Amino acid sequence: MSDAKLLETRKLVVDFNRRRVIDALDIAVPAGTVYALLGGNGAGKTTTINTFLGFVRPAGGEILIDGQSPHGNAGLVRSVVAYLPENVALYHYMSGRENLSFFCALAGLQITRARAHELLSSAGLQEQAHDQRVSAYSKGMRQKVGLAIASAKQAKVMLLDEPTSGLDPSAANDFAQQVRTAAERGMAVLMATHDLFNAKQVADRIGIMKEGRLVEAFDAHTVAHDELEQKYLAHARGLS
């Protein structure tokens, strides 16, 4: 783990329609770290991700990717960031390998057939699925193609928005292992999720958001699964 903060917000403020949806948010994600943002619907998790992507402009404070603002800097986002939404958008009539090669080409990367197979295997996709059409893939398999695309880009940062939603326990576990591997290679990962178990399993640091504010943050190893659930429910019910 490095001290270099690849993702950072400083007193970040975001307003929608005169309503404050992010309020003085301070988070920092160094290289080699997975940070899980927990919170219910409307807590501000996805808005935080979208602000890093440059889709939402802050009303105040700062948001930085590798020390630079993403706003008005689409080249920075394309070159540094890998983004996996809840449902990875792939072309269903193409195979996993073809999707990987296509999205790499869009990013200005040319990869060989052998390299594509290597990346897909490293992301956990079974070899027999590499040349199958994505229309036959499960959600977990599509997520693995997304991870392979992120690896091919050699992105410094990965942004994940509800990545394990709808995955069965085995697929969620496989995904968590791949995210840990990405962090061990030096990537900074910010994950917005409802999944307490997955957050505890994969994250180095956990933050709990409510109504746009970071109400508590702590190192993941300092709490057991049941303690994390108690903390989360206490904030959700207004008991903290």
Q: What is the pLDDT of residues 69-81, one digit of tens each?
A: 988 877 777 788 8
| Beta strand spans in the chain (E) | 5-16, 19-30, 34-38, 60-65, 81-84, 157-161, 188-193, 205-210, 213-219
Residue 52 sits at φ, ψ, to 5 deg, of: -60, -35
Give the whole-angstrom CA distance, residue 76 versus residue 85.
19
pLDDT bucket at 3, cuts 50 / 70 / 90: low
Average pLDDT score over the chain: 89
Asked if 82 and 161 touch (Cβ cutoff 8 Å), the reply is no
pLDDT surpassing 80 at residue 138: yes
pLDDT surpassing 60 at residue 1: no
Q: What angle do CA 69, 71, 73 make, to 5 degrees?
A: 85
Nearest to 229 by CA among 193, 196, 206: 196
Give the whole-angstrom CA distance, residue 164 versus residue 185.
21
Helix (H/G/I), strand (E/B), else coil: 109: coil
Give the rounded percent of residues in the chain with a pLDDT score beyond 70.
98
Asked if 3 and 187 touch (Cβ cutoff 8 Å), the reply is no
* Range 18-27 burial, b when 16+ CB lie within 10 A, else e: eebbbbebeb
Give the whole-angstrom CA distance, residue 28 versus residue 10.
9
Pick the most confident of 34-38, 40-44, 119-123, 235-239.
34-38
The two structure tokens encoding residue 197? 């178990």
- Class (C level, CATH) for 5-90+155-236: alpha beta
Helix (H/G/I), strand (E/B), else coil: 76: helix
The two structure tokens encoding residue 131? 């040349």
Residue 2: what pLDDT? Answer: 52
Residue 237: what pLDDT? Answer: 84
Residue 13: what pLDDT? Answer: 96
pLDDT surpassing 70 at residue 23: yes
Distances in Å between the alpha carbon of 201 and those of 2, 55, 82, 182, 187? 20, 29, 21, 14, 17
Q: What is the mean pLDDT of residues 193-211?
A: 91
Distances in Å between the alpha carbon of 26 and those of 8, 100, 216, 239? 7, 35, 11, 22
Tokens 């990965």: give the residue.
158
Give the whole-angstrom CA distance, residue 124 versus residue 50.
27
Higher pLDDT, 238 or 116: 116
The pTM for the full model equals: 0.88
